[in-house]
Structure 1
Amino acid sequence: MARIVIVSNRVPSSAARGPQAGGLAVALKDCLKDGGLWFGWSGETAPQTCADVKIGSVGKIDFATIDLSREDYRQFYVGFANSALWPLLHFQPGLVEFDRAHFETYLSVNRIYARALAALIEPTDLIWVHDYHLIPLAYFLRALGVENRVGFFLHVPFVPASLLSVLPRAEKLLRMLCAFDVVGFQTHEHLRDFEDCVRNMLNVTTDVAGPIIVDNHPVLAIATPIGIDARSFARQAKRSAHSRVAKRLDESMQGRALIIGVDRLDYSKGLPNRFDAFGRLLDRFSEHRLKVSYLQVAARSREDVAEYQRLKRDLDRRAGEVNGRHAEFDWVPLRYITRAISRATLAGFYRKARVGLVTPLRDGMNLVAKEYVAAQDPDDPGVLVLSRFAGAAEDLTEALIVNPLDADEIAEAMHQALTMPRAERKARHEKLFEKICQTTATTYCRDFLSALLGGPYDVLT
């Protein structure tokens, strides 16, 4: 079987490479169970960026990393990737900060990644590149003579041509994306938006079966939604609900219902609207006063990006306003934490929560929605309130679907969830759980790698 080479901007840290790894490592564990290579940035800065590779191993997996210079980190990662591409792909053109030098550094770093990777790969390797930081990578690999099958998966949303064209150099970037053999998206909507861009910006026909031909190169565009191992997560949640920390949460709640939200501290997650919505729940539905608490976990990220610093200050203020207006001496209605909590601990918290609040302004998929569903007690489940603009909403239609820009609609959905009869909660949960058991991390890896290989690929053999 071909060796799998995973490429991502950031390689899991040493502490995250074992069985407790989270995020992308969890999603890809099945396709790496027989070994493979994971290549990308070390997370460290050096005097200069170069293609010198450091290699280490954990079990059967080799981890190959390079360092970035501080200036390349600033221009490639903070600059173009997260101050231009990230807001654009999350439908926030007003937040796009384009700098020609940042774009050129973005290309330069991808060129260095390609040179370092080309020295490591073998002729039969399947190369699977992840996310928006590395859109030009296949283009530069081809320039070095690499003929391996190279696939790309975008974990964030994609945008239609009318929006992508806002970005300077968008056409060049789109052509580079089409140098991959397979390009995967989380939802059919994102796939349609990609086809719209190819059709309207590159003047290429997309209404034919099979690959799209761009610059004489066939690129197959597919939708392969990412998932979780729902049954395993359900078992973990059941165990974690009896942990010491979960019991501490129980004691602090004093019999009140729990609403929970878990996100990175990011403007795409709709957190200001969510805080306002919780305040309106207490304003409009007085029966919930003293009877419900909302726990928002929002781990800080990208703290060197100015927009994220402004967001944290805004949320601090809004949380203070909600609590200042509604709190009693023995009740803090909104609990707001800006540090990470382990996935195992969160599993237990999800199981205890009457409402799971997942209301991003845009999201590629949002696995918190699926984890919340998986964690529920099937005999007395909570209710998922889900943004219509999360990729998960394409499939999880039995959730309470809301527009995340409408704080009153979110408040009404929270009220509906808190007062929903048990029979309806069970019926909704049963259908949702069945769906998340069908679209898993295993099916995600299998479907993408089968497309990349050009035939069936069984990640479990």
Structure 2
Amino acid sequence: MRQSSLVVVANRLPLDDNAARDGACEWRRSPGGLASALRSILEQTPATWVGWGGGIGPARQLPDVGPLRLRPVALTADELQGYYEGFANSTLWPLYHDAVEPPVFDRGWWETYRAVNRRFAEAAAESAEPGAAVWVQDYHLQLVPQLLRELRPDLLIGFFLHVPFPPPELFMQLPRRTELLRGMLGADLVGFQRPQAAHNVAQLAAKLLGTQGADDAILLDGRVVRTGAFPVSIDVPEMTALAAQPSVRSHAHQLRQDLGPHKRVVLSVDRLDYTKGIEHRLTAYSELLRDGRIKVRDVVMVQVAVPSRERVENYRGLRDRIEREVGRINGEYGRVGEPAIHYLNQPFDRADLAALYQTADVMVVTPLRDGMNLVAKEYVAARAEDTGALVLSEFAGAAAELEDAFQVNPHDVDGLKETLLRALDADPADLARRMHAMREHITEHDIHAWAGDYLTSLDHSGGLARVLPRPKEALARPS
């Protein structure tokens, strides 16, 4: 087996396993913010990506993507249910998002999660050259760093958590809290979206493991585990170039005509997830219509809700509630040929999203809790003319960077209503100033800067960061 000096371990590969008509296997780019963000910096990098391909049963052999090798990890149907749908997304996900929905603690799920994490660790160990760097991604694989350290103590191990890390009082609810914490701290460098997460981990390490340390370093088992904030970002040149394509601009113009050329367009793009605040947003919009503060002849809302984890009961229930509420709002306030809300529960490719971003006068990104939220940054990157307004939850990680957005507490429906009106009625010069400042920030702090900062902190020498493509090279890659 060929080995690499840089191995990235993530739940998903950047390709999705789909059966073709004749029974062959077709590989295409998979959905998901993490895979998309990593793909943009790795598909021109000599490295190995370890992950699940999306299929059930034995893993298929995959071709390389340029210099990037793909190392698939197999999952059975029972493992998918216990590891992914169960422990990762019915236990950790809700707990890490402030228990917006109650987490479920199931002992069987834990055993499956641990077994699958070991399989990922073994695949990474086999793929790594002596002394290589292994970069483990996210809450699905929180045990991998320590398992990998036991298998290959020669490796340099990084871990990055893309979602929030909860306050100690929430994390302490986990029955396997000590093993989960120790698993993550098996890394040499643990990265988070926000500094508060590192503070939470330092508190927990002192309480559960008896460690000494601070928010940036923890002394554990005679070695130093470094921690810090590295806010993830997007490929800004890619989105800017995509939004400038004539076909995308033409599509955006047609969307404006279809939605109403004289209407103001309010857009939201989310995964269909209870953390995204979709129901709160619909309530605020409905009350503005009810009170006559906006009218269907003047304003239209487009809500994109990309299907997500449809086999998990909480997500099926959420979909049903949202669909009923959209139907009620359109039934009460819509007119013939003029719905109050266009609701789209389907995947969108990036070109279609770029067209939607250019169509929107107001982008509403109001999660109840979010590690970062890359949609907010994509909207800003697509607005090259410095037009449009971004309404952003103060509980999204992006709020710390996009300070010129119209920030709001999404739990406060009255405050959300007033903020929507402010954004709709804002002076164009004020909007241009805000958007320009946000575009400058994300241009300087894009996905290439994020990866470079993290990998330089991991190996100190800058050698790892130098293997990544430069941003201008990323622009030249084929779509």
Common fold by TM > 0.5? yes
Tell whether the 8 Å contact from 1:281 to 1:412 is kept in structure 2 after alignment.
no
Of 52, 70, 93, the match for 1:41: 52
Could you tell me how far 1:410 is from its partner in structure 2? Answer: 1.4
Which ranges in structure 1 are unaligned for 5 or more consecutive residues? none
Could you tell me how far 1:241 is from its partner in structure 2? Answer: 7.1
Does 2:417 align with 1:411? Answer: yes
Q: Which moved more, 1:384-393 or 1:117-126?
A: 117-126
Of 232, 241, 244, the match for 1:238: 244
What residue identity is the alignment partner of 1:352?
Answer: T
Of 341, 344, 358, the match for 1:337: 344
Could you tell me how far 1:384 is from its partner in structure 2? Answer: 0.3
Could you tell me how far 1:20 is from its partner in structure 2? Answer: 9.9
Does 2:170 align with 1:168? Answer: no
Tell whether the 8 Å contact from 1:276 to 1:407 is kept in structure 2 after alignment.
yes
Of 349, 360, 365, the match for 2:372: 365
Tell whether the 8 Å contact from 2:390 to 2:405 is kept in structure 1 after alignment.
yes
Q: Which residue of 1 aligns with 2:300?
A: 293
Of 351, 355, 359, the match for 2:358: 351
Does 2:45 align with 1:23? Answer: no
Q: State the Cα RMSD in Å.
A: 2.2
What residue identity is the alignment partner of 1:12?
Answer: P
Could you tell me how far 1:82 is from its partner in structure 2? Answer: 0.7
Q: 1:93 to 1:293 in 2, by over 3 A?
A: closer
TM-score (norm 2): 0.89
User: Hey, what's the Cα distance between the residues in 2 that align with 1:314 and 1:241?
Assistant: 36
User: Hey, what's the Cα distance between the residues in 1 that align with 2:154 and 2:432?
Assistant: 51
Tell whether the 8 Å contact from 1:240 to 1:246 is kept in structure 2 after alignment.
no
Tell whether the 8 Å contact from 1:277 to 1:408 is kept in structure 2 after alignment.
yes
Tell whether the 8 Å contact from 1:296 to 1:336 is kept in structure 2 after alignment.
yes
Which digits, 9 at most, give the CA deviation of each residue in 1:131-171, with x for residues without a partner?
Answer: 10100112112222342101111111111111100111112
User: Hey, what's the Cα distance between the residues in 2 that align with 1:290 and 1:323?
Assistant: 13
Q: Which residue of 1 aligns with 2:440?
A: 434
Q: 1:64 to 1:156 in 2, by over 3 A?
A: same
What residue identity is the alignment partner of 2:46?
Answer: G
User: Hey, what's the Cα distance between the residues in 2 that align with 1:102 and 1:333?
Assistant: 42
Q: 1:329 to 1:419 in 2, by over 3 A?
A: same
What residue identity is the alignment partner of 2:316?
Answer: Q
Tell whether the 8 Å contact from 1:22 to 1:343 is kept in structure 2 after alignment.
no
Of 212, 227, 235, the match for 1:229: 235
Q: Which moved more, 1:402-411 or 1:436-445?
A: 402-411
User: Hey, what's the Cα distance between the residues in 1 that align with 2:105 and 2:226?
Assistant: 29
Could you tell me how far 1:242 is from its partner in structure 2? Answer: 4.8
Does 2:59 align with 1:57? Answer: no
Tell whether the 8 Å contact from 1:89 to 1:158 is kept in structure 2 after alignment.
yes
What residue identity is the alignment partner of 2:393?
Answer: S
Does 2:94 align with 1:76? Answer: no
What residue identity is the alignment partner of 2:392?
Answer: L
Of 7, 10, 14, the match for 1:8: 10
Q: 1:346 to 1:163 in 2, by over 3 A?
A: same
Tell whether the 8 Å contact from 2:272 to 2:319 is kept in structure 1 after alignment.
yes
Of 401, 419, 422, the match for 1:395: 401
Tell whether the 8 Å contact from 2:366 to 2:392 is kept in structure 1 after alignment.
yes
Could you tell me how far 1:21 is from its partner in structure 2? Answer: 8.2
Tell whether the 8 Å contact from 1:355 to 1:384 is kept in structure 2 after alignment.
yes
What residue identity is the alignment partner of 1:35?
Answer: P
SS, match of residue 62 in structure 1:
strand
User: Hey, what's the Cα distance between the residues in 1 that align with 2:246 and 2:110?
Assistant: 45
Tell whether the 8 Å contact from 1:238 to 1:351 is kept in structure 2 after alignment.
no
What residue identity is the alignment partner of 1:435?
Answer: H
Could you tell me how far 1:22 is from its partner in structure 2? Answer: 6.8
Identity of aligned residues (%): 36
Q: Which residue of 2 aligns with 1:445?
A: 451
Tell whether the 8 Å contact from 2:252 to 2:358 is kept in structure 1 after alignment.
no
Which digits, 9 at most, give the CA deviation of each residue in 1:363-415, with x for residues without a partner?
Answer: 11001101111112435x11100001000001111111111112221121111
Could you tell me how far 1:240 is from its partner in structure 2? Answer: 5.8
SS, match of residue 109 in structure 1:
helix
Tell whether the 8 Å contact from 2:7 to 2:124 is kept in structure 1 after alignment.
no
How many residues in Structure 1 have an aligned counterpart in Structure 2? 454
Q: 1:415 to 1:94 in 2, by over 3 A?
A: closer
SS, match of residue 286 in structure 1:
coil
Tell whether the 8 Å contact from 1:182 to 1:452 is kept in structure 2 after alignment.
yes
Which digits, 9 at most, give the CA deviation of each residue in 1:40-89, with x for residues without a partner?
Answer: 1122212xx8xx78443121111011211111111111111111001001
Tell whether the 8 Å contact from 2:14 to 2:36 is kept in structure 1 after alignment.
no
Q: 1:104 to 1:414 in 2, by over 3 A?
A: same
What residue identity is the alignment partner of 1:92?
Answer: A
Which ranges in structure 2 are unaligned for 5 or more consecutive residues? 18-25, 471-479
Q: 1:336 to 1:322 in 2, by over 3 A?
A: same
Does 2:145 align with 1:138? Answer: yes
Tell whether the 8 Å contact from 1:241 to 1:347 is kept in structure 2 after alignment.
no
Could you tell me how far 1:191 is from its partner in structure 2? Answer: 2.4
Tell whether the 8 Å contact from 1:53 to 1:64 is kept in structure 2 after alignment.
no
Tell whether the 8 Å contact from 2:7 to 2:127 is kept in structure 1 after alignment.
no
What residue identity is the alignment partner of 2:44?
Answer: K
User: Hey, what's the Cα distance between the residues in 2 that align with 1:217 and 1:105?
Assistant: 29
User: Hey, what's the Cα distance between the residues in 2 that align with 1:364 and 1:266?
Assistant: 14
Q: 1:240 to 1:342 in 2, by over 3 A?
A: farther
What residue identity is the alignment partner of 2:50?
Answer: F
Could you tell me how far 1:283 is from its partner in structure 2? Answer: 2.4
Tell whether the 8 Å contact from 2:271 to 2:305 is kept in structure 1 after alignment.
yes
User: Hey, what's the Cα distance between the residues in 2 that align with 1:20 and 1:55?
Assistant: 15
Does 2:216 align with 1:213? Answer: no
Which digits, 9 at most, give the CA deviation of each residue in 1:264-312, with x for residues without a partner?
Answer: 0001101110111111222235344311111011111111100000000
What residue identity is the alignment partner of 1:397?
Answer: E
Q: 1:284 to 1:397 in 2, by over 3 A?
A: farther
What residue identity is the alignment partner of 2:304?
Answer: V
Tell whether the 8 Å contact from 1:56 to 1:64 is kept in structure 2 after alignment.
no
User: Hey, what's the Cα distance between the residues in 2 that align with 1:119 and 1:218?
Assistant: 25
Tell whether the 8 Å contact from 2:83 to 2:110 is kept in structure 1 after alignment.
yes
User: Hey, what's the Cα distance between the residues in 2 that align with 1:368 and 1:139?
Assistant: 32
Tell whether the 8 Å contact from 2:56 to 2:77 is kept in structure 1 after alignment.
yes
TM-score (norm 1): 0.93
Which digits, 9 at most, give the CA deviation of each residue in 1:322-349, with x for residues without a partner?
Answer: 1111101131011111101111211121
